[in-house]
Amino acid sequence: MTDTDIKKGLAGVVVDYTAVSKVNPETNSLLYRGYPVQELAATQSFEAVAHLLWHGELPSDAQLAELRESERQHRALLPSVKAVIDGLPVDAHPMDEVRTAVSAIGAEETAGISNVLDAVGSPEENLERSIRLFAQLPAIVAYGQRRRRGLDLVEARDDLDYAANFLWQTFGEEPDEVVVDAFNRSMILYAEHSFNASTFTARVITSTLSDLYSAVTGAIGALKGPLHGGANEAVLHILTEIGDASNVVPWLDAALAEKRKIMGFGHRVYKKGDSRVPTMKAALDTLVAHYDRPDVAELYETLESEFVSRKGIYPNLDYPSGPAYSLMGFDTLTFTPLFVAARITGWTAHILEQQASNALIRPLSAYNGPDERHVEGYVPDEAEL
Ligand code: SDX
């Protein structure tokens, strides 16, 4: 075994097939079940894309109506889940809140299953569980932001589709069509991205025949990290730190001198730019015009051009989505929970795929610790010889 045999971070290692999505850095493209994500973001509701990820095909009108009906039925924040959230410190990190809420839902929904061999559930049960989590996460995320602001829960509205209802439950105001469209696009762009760290975490947990809720809870833990989903929150922290475009150069000089990672830039797979960025940047531009905030665009573009010219490292999806969510009115700490609400579709599609063709995921390691040695004075008894 030599150092070159070790693929730290599993960089460049292909571990399995997936039919859910194709990330292609050569052509800088992303396909969900064969469809370019740009086409889906421009033409589909997030509900239709969820159906595509779970079932492999875009829904018929009847199938979309059925999914919408089911999603509406499960939108309400369960009183037991609200009680769990209310039991947490009001300044608990929202990703910890969401992770705890999903775990509580899992404990409630699998109560009574006393034999661990029955934990995994059937494909039909797990599709139902996926739809319920897809439906419940908006209320969990929206309530989390309102609770931190000292506001009450806003009940879901049955006359609104997924994106408009999510905004309604967060802000308690009639959502603006421009914002609904930008939000819908962001959820589609965030929905799925092959074997990223959180999705692979979900697949590892699923591979032991553990339950879907355990897999999603683990995935939320992985997504929280600033090298992964937490980057969209971290992008706003650095843009706030910079303040305005005139401060970009001195800020970047100092940040690079300290060898800081500039959040929202770089990617393990895409090396010449993230395929999703142009679509999300266009949504951001729409919001900049809608709210008349040219300062946001100027800071965004100045930092991007300065960093790319110096390091040749390009923005990822988290870079445009941070300022976009900020303009929509979401608190910075709510950004990564929004990523959870979108990625629950990709995570559960991968969980279903892993269950359908499972093998326990257990890689090897190369030992580089002390050679074998023995405890002083130990004398093995007869039975051990
Ligand atoms: C997501 O995998 C997915 O698909 C994830 C995701 C999804 O949809 O699920 O796309 C979502 O997580 C996007 C990434 C969000 N994370 C960030 O924005 C955090 C900042 N980015 C970096 O931490 C970094 O770019 C990573 C972690 C995303 C990827 O890094 P790699 O592939 O592990 O490469 P690396 O960290 O070894 O970087 C290679 C070089 C290093 O320089 P040297 O040490 O070799 O001199 O590039 C430098 C790095 O320091 N570098 C950066 C940088 N990204 C890479 N330097 C400063 N700022 C950065 N952002």
Cα 143 to Cα 17: distance, rounded to the nearest angstrom: 37
On the question of pLDDT at 288 being above 90, the answer is: yes
Catalytically annotated residue among 51, 211, 228, 318: 318
Is the distance from the beta carbon of residue 262 to the nearest atom of ligand 1 less than 6 Å?
Answer: yes
Q: Report residue 115 as tokens.
A: 């034999």
Tell me the domains of the chain and their CATH numbers. Answer: 18-224+333-356 (1.10.580.10), 231-328 (1.10.230.10)
ipTM of the complex in this document? 0.98
Distance of CA 265 from the midpoint of ligand 1 (Å): 7
Question: Starting from the edge strand earliest in sequence, which strands make up the sheet with 21-24, in order?
Answer: 21-24, 29-32, 35-36
pLDDT digits (tens, 9 = 90+) for 299-348: 999 999 999 999 999 999 999 999 999 999 999 999 999 999 999 999 99
Residue 263 in contact with ligand 1 by CB distance below 6 A? yes
DSSP 22: E
Mean pLDDT of the chain: 97
The residue whose C-alpha atom lies closest to atom 52 belonging to ligand 1 is 261
Task: Categorize the per-residue pLDDT at 385 as very low, low, confident or very high, splitting at 50, 70 and 90.
Answer: confident
Q: What is the pLDDT of residues 68-114, one digit of tens each?
A: 999 999 999 999 999 999 999 999 999 999 999 999 999 999 999 99
For residue 227, report the distance from its CA to the centre of ligand 1, in Å: 7
Q: Could you confirm whether 5 is annotated as catalytic?
A: no
Q: Which atom of ligand 1 is nearest to the CA of 199?
A: 9
Residue 264 alpha carbon, nearest atom of ligand 1: 18
Confidence of residue 209 (pLDDT cuts 50, 70, 90): very high
**Is 318 in the active site?**
yes
Residue 2: pLDDT band (50, 70, 90) is confident
Q: List Cβ neighbours of 300 (8 Å cut-off, separation of 6 or more).
A: 239, 284, 319, 320, 323
Is the distance from the beta carbon of residue 202 to the nearest atom of ligand 1 less than 6 Å? Answer: no
Q: Residue 45: enclosing H or E segment and its boundaries?
A: none
Give the residue, by CA position, lying nearest to ligand 1 atom 57. Answer: 261
For ligand 1, say whether the CB of 231 is within 6 Å of any of its atoms. yes
User: Which of the residues 51, 193, 228, 267 is marked catalytic?
Assistant: 267
Query: 265: which strand partners?
Result: 315
DSSP tally for the chain: helices H, then strands E: 16, 3
Q: What 3-state DSSP class applies to 293?
A: coil
**Is residue 191 within 6 Å of ligand 1 at its C-beta?**
no
Residue 217 has pLDDT above 90, yes or no: yes
Which helix (H) or strand (E) segment is 23 a member of? strand 21-24
Q: Taking the alpha carbons of 299, 305, 311, 313 in that order, is the dihedral positive or negative?
A: positive
Measured from the Cα of 9, ligand 1's closest atom is 33
Tens-digit pLDDT profile for residues 112-126: 999 998 989 999 999
Distance 266 CA to ligand 1 centre (A): 4
Ligand 1 centroid distance, CA of 192 (Å): 18
Q: Which of 237, 261, 276, 319 has most ligand 1 atoms within 8 Å of CB, for mutation?
A: 261
Ligand 1 pocket member 316 (CB < 6 A):
yes
Which residues, in sequence order, are CB contacts of 342 under 8 Å at separation 6+? 46, 186, 187, 188, 189, 190, 191
CA of 264 to the centre of ligand 1 (A): 8
CA of 145 to the centre of ligand 1 (A): 28
Which residue's CA is the nearest one to ligand 1's atom 12?
228
